[in-house]
Amino acid sequence: MTPAPRSPKAETLAFRSLSIPRLHLRLRSSCLILALAVGATTLSGQALANPGPGLAIEIASASEDEVDAKLVRRLIAIEIADVDVPPDPANDPPLEVVLFFRVVPAENAASVKMLSVELWERGELHGTRRVSTSEGKRLTARRIAQASAQLVLGLRKRRLAEARRLRRDAARAAAEAAKPKPHTLLARLTLDVPAQGAWISGGGWLGGIGLGPSLRLDSGPRIGAGLSLMAGGAPEIDGLRYFEFSVSPGYDFKLSQGLGLGLGVTLGAGVAQLQGAESVAGEAGQTTTWTGRAVVDFSVDTRLSDTLVLSFGPQVGVLLRPLNYRSASAPDVDSKLSGAWLGGQLSLRVDPPGGL
C-alpha cells in the first residue's frame, strides 16, 4: 500500500521540533565563548594593572649539575607570583621592586652537597636559605622555589613593618608640631670686664676699667648694669676722677657662629672729682660734684672660647650735667667740661655657650 502523503502543517511542526534543540545548543556555546572571552580580558587587564615585581634568577655554573635550571626558574616564578612585595618605604619617590635570586654552592657545607639561595634587591642582600641536593634535581628545584618564596615573604613582612613604623613616626611628628609651643624665656647671665676711655668736650679725658653683669635673652634683647672707675685730666687742674653707676639696655645681633653685633644705650649717673680746683659748680672749696652721661654703644662681639667673648666698639653721647670749675692757678677764669662724650671700650666677657 502506498503511504498517505504528509500534510504541510505536519512537516512544519516536525522541522520546528528538530530546530529548537539545535538553537539551544548554539546559544549555550555562544554564551560559553562570551564568558571565556570576558574572563580572559579581565585577567589580562588585572595582569597589566598589577605586573608584579621584576624578577631575575642567576644559577651559578658550579650549581648547574645539581639542579634543573629551567625547572628552577619556572617554579620560582610560580611560587612568588601572588606575593606583593612593596617598594622600600625609605625611598621617596618609591622605586620599582626588582627581585634577584642567586643559586650558588653553599660555603662551609658538610659532606652533603648544599646550595645557597640568595635574595637581592637593588644591590642589597635580604637573606639566604640553604637547600640540600641529595634527593634529585626535581626535588632540589622544588626546595629552591620554596626557599625563594620564604625569602620574598620575609622581605614583604619587613617592608610592611617598616612602612608602619614610618607612618607612626610621621604621625607622631605631625602631632608634636601641632601642639602649641610653650613660651619659654631662654636667658643667661654674663659678666663684662671693660677697659674704656673717653674725651669730653672742653678738654677733659678719662680712662679706666669697669664691671658689668648683664642678663641676655637668646632672642637678642639684653639689660645690663655697670660700675666704672676712671681717671684722667682737664685744663687748669691737677686731675679728674670719675665714678659711675650705669644701666645699659640693648640688643645683640648674631651674624654667624661665633660672631655678632651689639647695639645699646648706656645711661650713667656719676660723681666727678676735680683735683686742684678752687671751686666747683660755684661753690668755693668744693672739688666734687655729680653728673651723668647718655651714650649709644656699638660693639663687635667675637667668641674666643666656650666661655669667653671679646667685645669692642665706640661710644658716642653727651655729658648730661656740665662740670663748671675754677682752678687755683686761674681763679677768675671759669672753665667747663660739657657737651660731647666720645669714647670706646674693649671688653672681655664671660659668656656661657649658646649666645654666639
What is the per-residue pLDDT for 162? 93
Cell of residue 327, nine digits: 682752678
Q: Using one digit for the tens of pLDDT, what is the confidence trace for 230-265?
A: 999 999 899 999 999 999 999 999 998 889 999 999
Q: Do 196 and 310 share a domain, yes or no?
A: yes
CATH of the domain at 266: 2.40.160.20
89 compared with 229, residue with greater pLDDT: 229
Q: Do 164 and 202 share a domain, yes or no?
A: no
Asked, for residue 208, whether it belongs to a domain, the answer is yes
Cα separation, 314 vs 296, whole angstroms: 8
Rounded average pLDDT over 110-123:
82
Asked, for residue 295, whether it belongs to a domain, the answer is yes
**Mean pLDDT, the chain, whole residue set:** 84
Q: Do 274 and 156 share a domain, yes or no?
A: no
Q: Do 122 and 212 share a domain, yes or no?
A: no
Q: Do 289 and 194 share a domain, yes or no?
A: yes
Asked, for residue 1, whether it belongs to a domain, the answer is no
Neighbours of 217 (CB within 10 A): 15
Q: Do 152 and 243 share a domain, yes or no?
A: no
Residues 6+ apart with CB under 8 A from 105: 60, 62, 63, 113, 114, 115, 116
Percent over 70 (pLDDT), the chain: 81
Q: Is the pLDDT of residue 26 over 70?
A: no
Q: Is the pLDDT of residue 218 over 90?
A: no
What is the per-residue pLDDT for 53? 65
Q: Do 141 and 201 share a domain, yes or no?
A: no
Cell of residue 9, nine digits: 502543517
Domain span including residue 302: 187-350
Rounded average pLDDT over 140-155:
92
Asked, for residue 278, whether it belongs to a domain, the answer is yes
Task: Please count the structural domains in the chain.
Answer: 2
Asked, for residue 84, whether it belongs to a domain, the answer is yes
